[in-house]
Amino acid sequence: MEYRTLGSSDLKVSALCLGTMTFGEQNSETDAHAQLDYAVSRGVNFIDTAEMYPVPPRAETVHRTEQYLGSWLKRQAREKLIVATKIAGPARGFAWIRNGPRINRAQINAALDGSLRRLQTDYVDLYQIHWPDRYVPMFGATSYDASREHETTSIAEQLEALAERVKAGKIRHIGLSNETPWGVMEFLRCAEQSGLARIVSIQNAYHLLNRTFESGLAEVCHHANVGLLAYSPLAFGLLSGKYLDDPAAPGRITLFPGFGQRYHKPNVPAAAGEYARIAREAGLTPAIMALAFARTRRFTSSVILGATTLAQLKENLDSTEITLSAEVLAQIDEVHRRFPNPAP
């Protein structure tokens, strides 16, 4: 397993990170612990979760993922692991998270304390804002609409509250998720202006069907030394090829049809089919090719992968042994030119 420095932090994270958002919905606590044990045995030292998980989010299951991770974490050598979690943002109808989540001082403190309690740890290595407190187009929306702006907690206030918990030793580093170039720059500007903790990472979707990170965000993060944690590298399983072989195959797309709207768009099946063809002609599985692609981009610090079975997890981790040839990369770029970002 390769280990990389996460942005400007002192964290050395495995190039593949174990995502956990199926724990508590598609995976039992026993399943979760088996995945964690196996991932660590393969060199993974980086685990990502969120107070909102599992997905799809429901009042009946909220916080289960952190609880399952916590019951495992208490038996581990904590200092050898890098644990990341996230605070939920507003405007998605989750009234059952803190009576409506926001990113202000009081809610940051409540959310972090809850996560630490469930994780059964005294600190988190990386604490991330799951999505902005302000309005931004996300989760399939692509056009900014200024008329949708609403009252929001200032980024300066958010940083001040997070910095207090960093100073108290409850957070080692902070990061963002589902952010925009303007958001990254504003967090960096406020941190520099006020001498506060700066962000070290951004967790955004990045995969063969969504390479939008490569434009504005790649430039910003390069110059600011902010590492990408690439999530959904298999695009809800579409890049594994399983739905090409069996459209009714079990997975989030079929189990929760209303949850993956960003993938129900024109050109997604055609592009996914072309990427699967390239992989198979190169003697690779579609999943391994997709994961190897995301892992080897210059701006990627770690790729967050998830699985519902140990067999899937093994295949995903096997992708660390693969470097794509120049010919395969050229074919991938040719498909990208024909079907640019069909699932942003």
Give residue-wise pLDDT tens across range 79-133. 999 999 999 999 777 888 998 899 999 999 999 999 999 999 999 999 999 999 9
Q: Examine the pLDDT at 257 and tell me if it is beyond 80.
A: no
Q: What pLDDT is attached to residue 103? A: 96
Strand, helix or coil at 270?
helix
pLDDT band for position 255 (50/70/90)?
Answer: confident
Portion of the chain with pLDDT greater than 70, in percent? 100
Q: In angstroms, rounded to a whole number, what is the distance separating the alpha carbons of residues 307 and 313?
A: 5
Nearest to 16 by CA among 339, 288, 324: 288
pLDDT band for position 310 (50/70/90)?
Answer: very high
**What is the extent of the structural domain holding 12?**
3-238+293-323
pLDDT band for position 150 (50/70/90)?
Answer: confident
Give residue-wise pLDDT tens across range 22-48. 999 999 999 999 999 999 999 999 999
Q: Tell whether 286 is covered by a domain.
A: no
Q: Tell whether 10 is covered by a domain.
A: yes
Residue range 190-201: average pLDDT?
96
Q: Tell whether 146 is covered by a domain.
A: yes
Q: In angstroms, rounded to a whole number, what is the distance separating the alpha carbons of residues 287 and 238?
A: 9
In the numeric block, which tokens belong to residue 317?
Answer: 């981790």
CB neighbour list of residue 307: distance below 8 Å, 6 or more residues apart: 22, 35, 313, 316
Options 53, 127, 231, 263, the catalytic residue: 53
DSSP string, 308-323: SSHHHHHHHHHGGG--
pLDDT band for position 336 (50/70/90)?
Answer: very high
Q: What pLDDT is attached to residue 248? A: 79
Q: Tell whether 344 is covered by a domain.
A: no
Q: Tell whether 335 is covered by a domain.
A: no
Q: What pLDDT is attached to residue 278? A: 98
Q: How many domains does the chain have?
A: 1
DSSP 252: H
CATH at residue 51: 3.20.20.100
Least confident of 50-54, 103-107, 257-261: 257-261
Q: Tell whether 333 is covered by a domain.
A: no
Residue range 134-140: average pLDDT?
84
Q: What pLDDT is attached to residue 304? A: 98
pLDDT band for position 231 (50/70/90)?
Answer: very high
pLDDT band for position 186 (50/70/90)?
Answer: very high
- What integer best gives the mean pLDDT of the chain? 95
Query: Which secondary-structure segment (H or E) carries 10?
Result: none
Does 53 qualify as catalytic in the annotation?
yes
CB neighbour list of residue 321: distance below 8 Å, 6 or more residues apart: none
pLDDT band for position 265 (50/70/90)?
Answer: confident
Contact (Cβ atoms closer than 8 angstroms) between residue 175 and residue 203: yes
Q: What pLDDT is attached to residue 194? A: 95
Q: Examine the pLDDT at 148 and tell me if it is beyond 90.
A: no
In the numeric block, which tokens belong to residue 171?
Answer: 């957070």
Q: Tell whether 128 is covered by a domain.
A: yes
Q: Tell whether 142 is covered by a domain.
A: yes
Q: What pLDDT is attached to residue 109? A: 98
In the numeric block, which tokens belong to residue 9?
Answer: 């932090």
Task: State the residue for tokens 């490569």.
Answer: 214
Sign of the dihedral defined by the CA atoms of residues 40, 44, 45, 48, in that order: negative
Q: How much is the pTM?
A: 0.96
Residue range 7-16: average pLDDT?
98
